[in-house]
């Protein structure tokens, strides 16, 4: 696993994200993108395959967009936690139950949950294994842990290297499929159910390949998220949408898509055999 060392104290404590809550996570462009119907389409497709209903905890829920979509589908009792106060305030304003404690806090509500999700979260954590183990504590037997992280072996990283905007101080860990499954295998109560690759943003790759090493400003990132989300919803882009989906599927087949997704199941009893793929 590739990781940053040393890690700035504000990143380790979560203070960095709390300060960005209003300026980025709650920015109008970011909210418009996050709450668009297409935003979590890929995650929902995988999630509902393993958890068609039940109690769900979203760790790093930000403004609650994923949980909002689950609740709209019906059949789910949802809760979210995060270190960003302003983002949690927004989630609460949407009627999402928020838990204002660290997952590792001994007083964190014990569940049990049918599913726990880490959507683009483990890469931000100084001790991702401790969080995976705590998630296993909170799952009922037969419940599922779903993890999505940026793919350090993606086409984007191979082409852009350090210019890729998601090679950033906020990310203190960088996972490949192999290192993510190796991390999960250290929690013996969890058994691997599915490993896949998803997402592909050619606009980001093109911009970062041509650009420099400077961090892309949050406002620019939010505007691009809003624009690309709008493109996905626009009618009349049928042929382009087909080409895009075919490209994403091809990259996923060879492990080169932007993200790695791992689904793990809590053992019904005893100790699971491991967290292998597929």
Per-residue pLDDT tens listing for the chain (278 residues): 777 777 888 777 777 887 776 788 999 999 999 999 999 999 999 999 999 999 999 999 999 999 999 999 999 999 999 998 999 999 999 999 999 999 999 999 988 999 999 999 999 999 999 999 999 999 999 999 999 999 999 999 999 999 999 998 889 999 999 999 999 999 999 999 999 999 999 999 999 998 876 788 888 888 888 888 887 777 666 677 788 889 999 999 999 999 999 999 999 865 444 444 43
Of 178, 72, 172, 63, nearest in space to 123 by CA: 172
d(CA 183, CA 224) in angstroms, rounded, equals 32
d(CA 98, CA 102) in angstroms, rounded, equals 11
257 near 248, Cβ under 8 Å? yes
140 near 112, Cβ under 8 Å? yes
Please report the pLDDT score of residue 123 as a whole number: 97
Q: Does an H or E element contain 34, and which?
A: helix 28-34
In the chain, where the domains are located: 2-266
Q: Does an H or E element contain 127, and which?
A: none
Return the SS3 of 185. Answer: helix
Instruction: Compute the C-alpha angle 38/232/97, nearest 5°.
Output: 20
Tokens for 176, please give them: 């490949």
Quick one: CA dihedral 216, 127, 268, 116, positive or negative? Answer: negative
Please report the pLDDT score of residue 269 as a whole number: 62
Q: Distance from CA of residue 14 to its chain's centroid? A: 17
Topology of the domain covering 2-266: Rossmann fold (3.40.50)
**Tally of residues, the chain:** 278
Tokens for 35, please give them: 């709450």
Q: What dihedral angle (degrees, nearest 10) is formed by the CA atoms of 52, 262, 141, 131?
A: -120
Please report the pLDDT score of residue 19 as a whole number: 78
d(CA 67, CA 90) in angstroms, rounded, equals 12
d(CA 263, CA 269) in angstroms, rounded, equals 18
Return the SS3 of 67. Answer: helix
Alpha carbon distances (Å) from 10 to 14, 15, 17, 230: 6, 5, 8, 34
Tokens for 278, please give them: 């597929």
Q: Distance from CA of residue 102 to its chain's centroid? A: 17
Instruction: Compute the C-alpha angle 101/66/78, nearest 5°.
Output: 55
Return the SS3 of 138. Answer: helix
Q: What dihedral angle (degrees, nearest 10) is formed by the CA atoms of 14, 96, 38, 120?
A: 20
d(CA 155, CA 213) in angstroms, rounded, equals 18
């Amino acid at each position: 696993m590739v990781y940053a060392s040393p890690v700035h104290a504000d990143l380790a404590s979560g203070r960095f994200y709390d300060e960005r809550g209003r300026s980025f996570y709650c920015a109008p462009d970011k909210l418009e993108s996050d709450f668009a119907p297409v935003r979590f389409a890929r995650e929902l497709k995988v999630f509902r395959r393993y958890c068609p209903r039940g109690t769900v905890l979203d760790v790093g829920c930000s403004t609650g967009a994923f949980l909002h979509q689950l609740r709209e589908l019906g059949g789910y009792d949802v809760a979210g936690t995060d270190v960003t106060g302003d983002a949690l305030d927004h989630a609460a304003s949407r009627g999402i139950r928020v838990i204002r404690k660290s997952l590792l806090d001994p007083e964190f509500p014990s569940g049990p949950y049918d599913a726990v999700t880490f959507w683009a979260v483990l890469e931000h954590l100084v001790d991702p294994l401790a969080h995976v183990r705590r998630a296993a504590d909170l799952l009922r037997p037969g419940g599922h842990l779903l993890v999505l992280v940026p793919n350090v072996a993606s086409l984007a990283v191979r082409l852009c290297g350090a210019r890729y905007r998601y090679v950033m101080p906020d990310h203190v860990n960088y996972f490949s499929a192999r290192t993510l499954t190796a991390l999960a295998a250290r929690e013996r109560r969890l058994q691997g159910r599915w490993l896949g690759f998803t997402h592909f943003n050619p606009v980001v790759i093109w911009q970062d390949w041509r650009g420099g090493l400077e961090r892309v400003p949050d406002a620019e990132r939010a505007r691009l998220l809003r624009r690309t989300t709008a493109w996905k919803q626009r009618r009349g882009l049928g042929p382009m949408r087909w080409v895009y989906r075919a490209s994403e599927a091809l990259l996923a087949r060879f492990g080169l898509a932007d993200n790695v997704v791992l689904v793990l199941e809590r053992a019904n009893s005893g100790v699971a055999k491991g967290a292998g793929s597929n």
